Amino acid sequence: MKNLKFTIITFYQFKKNSNVERLQNLLKNFCSFHKIKGTILLAEEGINGTVAGLIKPINLLELEIQKLGFTKLELKRSFYEFMPFNRLKIKIKNEIVTFDGSQLDVENYTGQHVVSSEWNALIEDEKTIVIDVRNNFEVEVGSFEGSINPKTKNFSEFKQYVDKNLSENKNQKIAMFCTGGIRCEKASSYMLNMGFKNIFQLKGGILQYLEDITIKESRWQGECFVFDNRVSIQNAMAPGTYELCHSCRNPLGIKDRLSKDYVKGISCSKCINKTSKDKKLKLRERNKQIEIAKKKGLYNPYIKFTPSDFS
């Protein structure tokens, strides 16, 4: 069954490396040759990526990354019937997840990792402050019941949220979570540096929790937004029901798509009055080209590809 689907791996590791240009060239050549798509971010502090491909090339990529020195990857696998990425991007950045540019020792100094099976007990403790580290639009798709939404537009704003709202809670238990765990690594490292004593984080993030915990035991409400063409996932890593608005890139649930302002590929209620006429014309033309490509069997990066198209 898994051989009939694309393998998706999400991975990261904080590990100092100075020759990021060499890593970029090696990984770009490897992924291009093996028809692997997705995004890999490289910085002197480590590696962070989500990519997809056929199962054998993905297995080889994992080995290749380990050969390049990343032997302690935090890695998760999932499977999907369509290619979830339109292209390959391997970028060099100042940080593998943008926080505030400060030099944190994330490789050695983070919060206590809590496995999925122990997470429910932690967040159900009345003395625990539970914080969703993700952006507001992600939280609106789904979150843990009773968790705090900092309502940030991007991860860089989380530092300001901590400074403004949590300075009186430095001795209290604080449990944090994010999609795959990487944002919590930086957030917890920052908070420990600021004098917080009891910082906990969900190991492997929401993705690991949804894979490990049954629906009956789950404290998760809604779906989990992911940064690829799946848009959202549910318990047991099953595909979700959300779609992206191609104009404003916001996730749209079933109710959102019933709105009179929703036009597939053009607009939604969140952007109908914000999108220029020129942009709407360009989006309509893109939709037209996609339909032409489908009918004629031509290549278009926005058409859904199956594993048979890659073999």
pLDDT tens sequence across 77-120:
999 999 999 999 999 999 999 997 677 899 999 999 999 999 99
| Whether 69 and 132 share a structural domain | no
| Whether 117 and 193 share a structural domain | yes
| Whether 152 and 73 share a structural domain | no
Choose one of 60, 92, 124: the last residue of a domain.
92
The Cα–Cα gap between 271 and 265 comes to 12
| Whether 74 and 171 share a structural domain | no
Spatial neighbors of 137 by CB under 8 A, at least 6 apart, are 225, 250, 251
| Whether 148 and 88 share a structural domain | no
Torsion angles phi and psi, residue 85, rounded to 5: -125, 150
- The CATH number of whichever domain residue 118 belongs to comes to 3.40.250.10
Burial of 72 (0-12, 13-18, 19+ CB in 10 A): exposed
Q: What is the pLDDT of residue 101?
A: 64
| Whether 125 and 180 share a structural domain | yes
Give the H/E segment covering residue 177.
strand 173-177
Q: DSSP letter at 180? A: S
Q: How many domains does the chain have?
A: 2
The Cα–Cα gap between 79 and 114 comes to 25
In angstroms and rounded to an integer, the radius of gyration of the C-alpha atoms of the chain is 20
Q: What is the pLDDT of residue 1?
A: 47
Mean pLDDT of 23-29: 98
Mean pLDDT of 50-72: 97
Q: What is the pLDDT of residue 294?
A: 86
For 35, other C-beta atoms within 10 Å of its C-beta total 16
Can you give the residue range of the structural domain that contains 177? 112-222
Does any domain span residue 262? no
For 88, other C-beta atoms within 10 Å of its C-beta total 17
Query: Whose CA is closest to 49, among 34, 28, 18, 21?
Result: 28
| Whether 218 and 136 share a structural domain | yes
- The CATH number of whichever domain residue 24 belongs to comes to 3.30.70.100
Q: What is the pLDDT of residue 2?
A: 57
Does any domain span residue 82? yes
**Contact indicator for 205, 217 with CB cutoff of 8 Å:** no
Considering the candidates 31, 178, 245, 271, report the single residue annotated as catalytic: 178
| Whether 116 and 213 share a structural domain | yes
Q: DSSP letter at 256? A: G
Does any domain span residue 85? yes
| Whether 28 and 77 share a structural domain | yes
Does any domain span residue 102? no
Spatial neighbors of 162 by CB under 8 A, at least 6 apart, are 187, 190, 191, 194
Does any domain span residue 263? no
| Residue 178 annotated as catalytic | yes
Which band of pLDDT confidence, cut at 50, 70 and 90, is reported for residue 302? confident
Q: What is the pLDDT of residue 220?
A: 98
Residue with tokens 């998706």: 8
Q: What is the pLDDT of residue 296?
A: 85
pLDDT tens sequence across 206-258:
999 999 999 999 999 999 999 999 999 999 999 999 999 999 999 999 999 99
HEC assignment per residue over 114-162: ECHHHHHHHHHCCCCEEEECCCHHHHCCEEECCCECCCCCCHHHHHHHH
Which band of pLDDT confidence, cut at 50, 70 and 90, is reported for residue 174? very high
The Cα–Cα gap between 107 and 45 comes to 8
Choose one of 175, 195, 222: the last residue of a domain.
222
The Cα–Cα gap between 170 and 196 comes to 4
Angle, alpha carbons 128-134-136 (nearest 5°): 105
**Contact indicator for 52, 7 with CB cutoff of 8 Å:** yes
| Whether 124 and 217 share a structural domain | yes
Q: Give the number of C-alpha atoms closer than 13 A to the C-alpha of residue 11, restricted to the C-beta side.
A: 25
| Whether 66 and 146 share a structural domain | no
Does any domain span residue 257? no
Does any domain span residue 307? no
Average pLDDT, the chain: 95
Helix %, strand %, coil % of the chain (to 5): 35, 25, 45
> What pTM does this model have?
0.93
Q: What is the pLDDT of residue 221?
A: 98
| Whether 63 and 163 share a structural domain | no
Angle, alpha carbons 141-199-145 (nearest 5°): 30
Does any domain span residue 206? yes
Choose one of 188, 222, 256: the last residue of a domain.
222
